[in-house]
């Protein structure tokens, strides 16, 4: 006879996502801004942003308005969306600067309780905007007027390290960068945080970049997860557990920051770093936490494990 638990487990795995969707349907969706429209030479927002929009909409928790900023000359434009209309702003976007009025409005929005989600490429945005750097904790590269990506320097702040079970600031020299794309383990570091509750202690993420030696003000940051590139395989790696998922408090605002999710201009589909169920689920849960302070979504049965990646190909 088949034990009852073994019989019910696969049925429950199929019903839990449906139950979550039914619960979400009972609530009015939260209005979310997906801000996009510009990438540096290493990224392609036209490939990543449609996926981000779809992932957020799939939860039925969010009504997503995609706002496409001017790709060129935004600094001298009249770009100034009404941030206060949104429960959260999700940035899949990188640019050098904004008009002064837009920057002032966004800082006010965040200080008074706004919510921000920062995805991978946005680590390169706004290299000289102090308040933005405070919002996202640490960052790298940074677009220059000439189109380069080296605006941030060692003067931009400290690095964050996970050592002996806690986060420490590191002011040692060393340029930001990343080893070549590869599959790597993401290690949960703050399991009690709502975004991370129920996730495995370690899960395998496919063919992505481990952003390394990012710098910034690094204030009010909680590291949720880290990744380590092995130096014997990748000599250019830092040899440190690099933060890949973080939350930050800025004024009364909340920020979820993921360094995962690379897609380049020449990458063919499927875009594995974005198709990874780990990326999808942490983005969805991180956005809900940023917008509401809690997470109601279940961890799906197809979440990756320590031994095996898991992707959803559209």
Question: Is the per-residue pLDDT at 1 higher than 80?
Answer: no
| Percent of the chain at pLDDT exceeding 70 | 92
Give 26's pLDDT tier (boundaries 50, 70, 90).
Answer: low
- Report the top-level CATH class of 4-292: alpha beta
Question: Is the per-residue pLDDT at 287 higher than 80?
Answer: yes
| Percent of the chain at pLDDT exceeding 90 | 86
Question: Is the per-residue pLDDT at 36 higher than 70?
Answer: yes
**Cα gap 133→156, rounded to integer Å:** 9
**Cα gap 178→174, rounded to integer Å:** 12
Give 258's pLDDT tier (boundaries 50, 70, 90).
Answer: very high
Q: Which of 8-17, 240-249, 277-286, 300-309 is predicted with the least confidence, judged by mean pLDDT? A: 8-17
Q: Tell me which long-range contacts 69-72 makes (C-beta under 8 A, separation of at least 24).
A: 69/35, 69/36, 69/37, 69/38, 69/93, 69/95, 70/37, 70/38, 71/37, 71/38, 72/38
Segment 276-282 shows an average pLDDT of 98
CA 138 to chain centre: 12
pLDDT score, position 59 = 98
pLDDT score, position 6 = 45
List, for residues 93-147, the tens digit of each pLDDT value. Answer: 999 999 999 999 999 999 999 999 999 999 999 999 999 999 999 999 998 887 7
Query: What does the mean pLDDT of the chain come to?
Result: 92
Segment 241-256 shows an average pLDDT of 98
Helix then strand then coil, % of the chain, to nearest 5: 30, 25, 45
Segment 252-256 shows an average pLDDT of 98
**Cα gap 65→85, rounded to integer Å:** 11
Q: What is the CA radius of gyration of the chain?
A: 19
CA distances from 187 to 122, 124, 165, 213, 282 (A): 22, 24, 12, 17, 13
Question: Is the per-residue pLDDT at 16 higher than 90?
Answer: no
Which single residue is written with the structure tokens 């909409």?
57
Give 67's pLDDT tier (boundaries 50, 70, 90).
Answer: very high
List, for residues 185-218, the tens digit of each pLDDT value. Answer: 999 999 999 999 999 999 999 999 999 999 999 9
């Amino acid at each position: 006879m088949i034990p009852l638990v073994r019989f019910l487990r696969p049925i429950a795995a199929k019903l839990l996502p449906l139950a979550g969707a039914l619960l979400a349907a009972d609530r009015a969706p939260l209005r979310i801004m997906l801000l996009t429209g510009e990438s540096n030479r290493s990224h392609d927002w036209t490939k990543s942003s449609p996926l981000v929009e779809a992932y957020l909409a799939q939860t039925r928790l969010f009504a997503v308005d995609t706002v496409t900023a001017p790709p060129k000359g935004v600094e001298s434009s009249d770009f100034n969306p009404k941030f206060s209309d949104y429960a959260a702003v999700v940035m899949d976007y990188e640019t050098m600067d904004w008009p002064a009025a837009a920057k002032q409005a966004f800082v006010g929005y965040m200080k008074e309780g706004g919510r921000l989600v920062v995805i991978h490429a946005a680590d390169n945005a706004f290299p000289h905007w102090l308040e933005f750097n405070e919002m996202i904790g640490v960052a790298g590269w940074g677009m220059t007027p000439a189109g380069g990506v080296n605006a941030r320097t060692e003067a931009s702040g400290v690095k964050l390290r996970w050592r002996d079970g806690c986060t420490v600031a590191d002011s040692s020299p060393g340029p930001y960068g990343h080893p070549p794309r590869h599959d790597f383990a993401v290690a949960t570091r703050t399991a009690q945080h709502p975004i991370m509750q129920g996730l495995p202690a370690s899960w395998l993420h496919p063919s992505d970049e481990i952003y390394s030696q990012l710098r910034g003000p690094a204030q009010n940051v909680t590291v949720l997860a880290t990744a380590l590139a092995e130096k014997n395989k990748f000599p250019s790696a830092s040899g440190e557990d690099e933060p890949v998922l973080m939350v930050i408090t800025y004024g009364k605002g909340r920020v979820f920051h993921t360094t995962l999710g690379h897609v380049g201009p020449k990458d063919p589909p499927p875009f594995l770093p974005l198709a990874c169920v780990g990326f999808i689920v942490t983005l969805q849960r991180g956005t809900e936490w940023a917008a509401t302070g809690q997470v109601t979504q279940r961890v799906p049965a197809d979440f990756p494990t320590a031994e095996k990646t898991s992707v959803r190909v559209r």
